């Protein structure tokens, strides 16, 4: 996807670190991330465009919106991700005018006034960095709870590993954070009222220019300026003081961490207060600003310095909640949901069964299509510029890869594995250069499940031979998936019976093909929670149903919805079904 990260800042902030850290991870996954902001200090991948969001006059705001529209159109931006109030307002208007999906990460408490309550400007979804932000959005601004999700700060935990305690002549206390705004006020009061600089060696790391009032501390405090090697700084510290990402990174390194921010002072982070600290982003956010008892801080800091390190349980909790890969996984989910539901478009997954040459081969159940019509379908797909995907492609590249800009994808699936798939479908796949996914029943030689159906028996149709299956798989045009041994209604079987049907089918196919299977299809579309759990446990990345499941495929990879093709599905009927919005129109 093409993603525009929008920030408004005049110096390094936690939002910038958040955006660029996640942006680099998204670039690594194949997305293209662009940035627009007043400034951008942290090294990053992706183009940066300067825009003075902090100039907020009415003419300036019109200019902001116009420039954002230009960027969206020029770089084919599919989703805008805003990270501040100033940028989110302009982004919201630009996205409304261009029909672009939008997400806003909310990094702190929002101002409460009448216009803000009526005009949230958050876009399609708000990601609150912690529970306190979410609660304030709901209670003070009236944002619908369904619009909000928790979106933690992503940290590349590989860069923050536990280190031994340093051996310093005097205890070293490192404060990391801005020297402007509320954080600057907090730092000033810590230096002025709480830290004995004769007893401790105090160092301050900040990207801010040193404000005049801090110069009185220069003889006793080391002002380091912007520090690129923050882990190195933390490794030499007996105590790290900070909020938000600073606290998380220090905890990951096993250093004693005194969490304090512009709202509260959780203090030394321990197993007893880690949940509460996380809920307020380690002191950054709370019910009110600067709710701190500064008189009590010197003793609390002295007690924290006596601690030799962070408890392993705290480190584990932070690692599991803030790990960059896990946070980026969740962010990709949000991106896909917002994009698919806002545009009401999803990659179509069409479902065929049998193919016939003449009317004598017609069946009773309507799961066939004349080969001449199949070729007309393929000609239409070719003319419209569709490219075929398989589930192995999605397993390799990630589900979000289906939303690559300027690409029209379709997934062609065929159930059961009839011999006509080899005789009629396979030649057309080769002729048009398309790929398909065929789901195979391996415990039968013909369609016994339909033939022996009381009251409405189908005519007998042979299944493919192992040799035919192998030839198709080796062509690179056909991916095979599991479809059980005998094609039962899985939801009528016990869990163990289901396991045998799914597991033995999978093992037989993988032995024949010499490769793992990427997807499984529930026979008749019938399944229950056991079926889905077994597909996952047995190693399938995906499982497809028929006409059930979420409208967006990534929202449940074990109940992916498909679009059935029937004997009367002509070229116009196929066009209606593959436009991308068919399942949305059908399920109004």
In this prediction, residue 409 carries a pLDDT of: 97
In this prediction, residue 56 carries a pLDDT of: 80
CB-count exposure of residue 412 (10 Å: 0-12, 13-18, 19+): buried
Query: Count H helices, E strands: the chain?
Result: 22, 23
Cα angle value 256/262/267 (rounded, 5°): 25
Identify the bridge partners of residue 408 per DSSP, sorted by sequence position. Answer: 386
What are the structure tokens assigned to 195, written together?
């830290």
CB-count exposure of residue 201 (10 Å: 0-12, 13-18, 19+): middle
Comparing 2-150 with 157-319, is the CATH topology the same?
yes
What are the structure tokens assigned to 407, written together?
């690409």
* Cα distance between residue 228 and residue 43, in whole Å: 10
In this prediction, residue 506 carries a pLDDT of: 98
What are the structure tokens assigned to 159, written together?
């860069």
Cβ pair 90, 68 in contact under 8 A: yes
* Cα distance between residue 151 and residue 333, in whole Å: 11
> What is the model's pTM?
0.88
Q: Residue 177 to residues 148, 193, 300, 332: CA-CA distances in angstroms?
A: 27, 18, 20, 29
Distance of CA 579 to the CA centre of its chain: 25
* Cα distance between residue 437 and residue 412, in whole Å: 6
Considering only CA atoms, which of 42, 101, 95 is closest in space to residue 69? 95
* Cα distance between residue 285 and residue 220, in whole Å: 30
In this prediction, residue 289 carries a pLDDT of: 54
Q: What residue spans define the domains of the chain?
A: 2-150, 157-319, 344-586
In this prediction, residue 287 carries a pLDDT of: 62
* Cα distance between residue 105 and residue 563, in whole Å: 35
Helix (H, G, I), strand (E, B) or coil at 386: strand
Q: Strands of 41-93 (E only): list them.
A: 48-50, 79-82
Cβ pair 133, 109 in contact under 8 A: yes
The pLDDT tens digits along the chain (588 residues) read 999 999 998 877 778 889 999 999 999 999 999 999 999 988 899 999 999 998 888 899 999 999 999 999 999 999 999 998 889 999 999 999 999 999 999 988 877 776 666 678 899 999 999 999 999 999 988 999 999 999 998 998 988 999 999 999 999 999 998 898 888 999 999 999 999 999 999 999 998 889 999 999 999 999 999 998 999 999 999 999 999 989 999 999 999 999 999 888 999 999 999 999 999 999 988 665 556 899 999 999 999 999 888 999 999 999 999 999 999 999 999 999 999 999 999 999 999 999 999 999 998 888 999 999 999 999 999 999 999 999 999 999 999 999 999 889 999 999 999 999 999 999 999 999 999 999 999 999 999 999 998 888 989 999 999 999 999 999 999 999 999 999 999 999 999 999 999 999 999 999 999 999 999 999 999 999 999 999 999 999 999 999 999 999 999 999 999 999 999 999 999 999 999 899 999 887
What are the structure tokens assigned to 543, written together?
């499982």
Considering only CA atoms, which of 149, 108, 78, 127 is closest in space to residue 9? 108
* Cα distance between residue 399 and residue 397, in whole Å: 7
* Cα distance between residue 575 and residue 110, in whole Å: 47
Cβ pair 225, 207 in contact under 8 A: yes
- How far from each other are the two terminal CA atoms of the chain, in whole angstroms? 27
Q: Which residues make Cβ contacts (< 8 Å) with residue 372, sequence separation at least 6?
A: none
Q: How many CA atoms lie within 13 A of 127 on its CB side?
A: 25
CATH among 3.20.20.370, 3.20.20.80, 3.40.630.40, 3.90.1150.10 for 344-586: 3.20.20.370
What are the structure tokens assigned to 362, written together?
């017609």
Q: What's the topology of domain 157-319?
A: Rossmann fold (3.40.50)
Helix (H, G, I), strand (E, B) or coil at 267: strand
In this prediction, residue 445 carries a pLDDT of: 96
In this prediction, residue 117 carries a pLDDT of: 66
- The CATH H-level (homologous superfamily) assignment of domain 2-150 is Glycogen Phosphorylase B; (3.40.50.2000)
* Cα distance between residue 447 and residue 430, in whole Å: 26
Phi, psi dihedral angles at 167 (to 5 degrees): -110, 100
């Amino acid at each position: 996807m093409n993603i525009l990260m929008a920030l408004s800042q005049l110096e390094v902030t936690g939002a910038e670190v958040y955006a660029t850290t996640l942006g680099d991870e998204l670039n690594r996954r194949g997305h293209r991330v662009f940035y627009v902001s007043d400034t951008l200090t942290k090294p990053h991948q992706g183009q940066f465009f300067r825009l003075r969001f902090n100039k907020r006059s009415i003419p300036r705001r019109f200019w902001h919106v116009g420039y954002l529209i230009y960027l969206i159109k020029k770089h084919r931006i599919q989703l805008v991700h805003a990270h501040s109030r100033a940028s989110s307002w302009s982004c919201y208007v630009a996205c409304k005018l261009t029909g672009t999906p939008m997400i806003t990460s909310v990094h702190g408490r929002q101002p409460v006034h009448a216009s803000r309550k009526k005009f949230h400007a958050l876009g399609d979804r708000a990601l609150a960095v912690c529970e306190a932000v979410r609660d304030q959005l709901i209670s003070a601004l009236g944002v619908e709870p369904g619009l909000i999700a928790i979106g933690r700060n992503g940290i590349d935990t590989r860069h923050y590993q536990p280190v031994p305690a340093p051996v310093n002549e005097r205890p070293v206390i490192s404060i990391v954070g801005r020297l402007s705004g509320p954080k600057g006020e907090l730092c000033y009061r810590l230096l002025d009222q709480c830290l004995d600089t004769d007893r401790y060696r105090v160092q301050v790391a900040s990207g801010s220019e040193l404000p005049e009032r801090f110069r009185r501390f220069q003889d006793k405090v080391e002002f380091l300026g912007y520090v690129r090697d923050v882990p190195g700084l933390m490794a030499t510290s007996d105590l790290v003081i900070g909020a938000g990402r600073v606290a998380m990174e220090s905890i990951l390194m096993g250093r004693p961490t005194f969490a304090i921010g512009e709202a509260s002072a959780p203090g030394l982070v321990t197993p007893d207060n880690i949940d509460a600290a996380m809920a307020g982003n380690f002191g950054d956010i709370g019910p009110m600003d600067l709710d701190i008892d500064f008189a009590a801080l010197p003793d609390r800091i002295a007690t924290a310095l006596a601690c030799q390190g962070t408890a392993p349980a705290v480190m584990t909790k932070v690692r599991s909640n803030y790990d960059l890969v896990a946070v980026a996984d969740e962010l990709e989910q949000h991106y896909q949901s917002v994009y698919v539901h806002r545009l009401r478009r999803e990659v179509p997954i069409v479902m065929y069964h049998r193919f016939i040459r003449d009317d004598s081969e017609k069946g009773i159940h309507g799961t066939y299509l004349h080969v001449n019509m199949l070729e007309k379908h393929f000609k239409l797909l070719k003319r419209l510029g569709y490219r075929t995907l398989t589930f192995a492609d999605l397993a390799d590249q990630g589900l979000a890869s289906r939303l690559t800009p300027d690409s029209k994808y379709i997934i062609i699936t065929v159930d059961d594995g009839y011999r006509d798939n080899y005789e009629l479908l396979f030649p057309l796949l080769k002729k048009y250069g398309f790929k398909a996914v065929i789901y195979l029943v391996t415990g039968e030689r013909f369609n016994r499940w339909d033939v022996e159906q009381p009251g409405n028996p189908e005519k007998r149709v042979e299944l493919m031979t192992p040799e035919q299956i192998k030839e198709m798989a080796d062509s690179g045009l056909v991916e095979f998936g599991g479809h059980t041994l005998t094609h039962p209604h899985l939801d009528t079987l016990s869990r163990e019976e289901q396991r045998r049907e799914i597991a033995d089918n999978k093992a037989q196919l993988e032995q024949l093909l010499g490769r793992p299977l990427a997807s499984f299809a529930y026979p008749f579309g019938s399944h229950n929670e056991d079926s889905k759990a077994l597909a996952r446990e047995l190693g399938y990345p995906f499982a497809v149903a028929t006409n059930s499941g979420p409208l967006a495929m990534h929202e449940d990879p074990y109940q992916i919805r498909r679009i059935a093709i029937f004997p009367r599905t002509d070229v116009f009927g196929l066009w209606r079904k593959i436009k991308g919005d068919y399942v949305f129109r059908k399920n109004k």
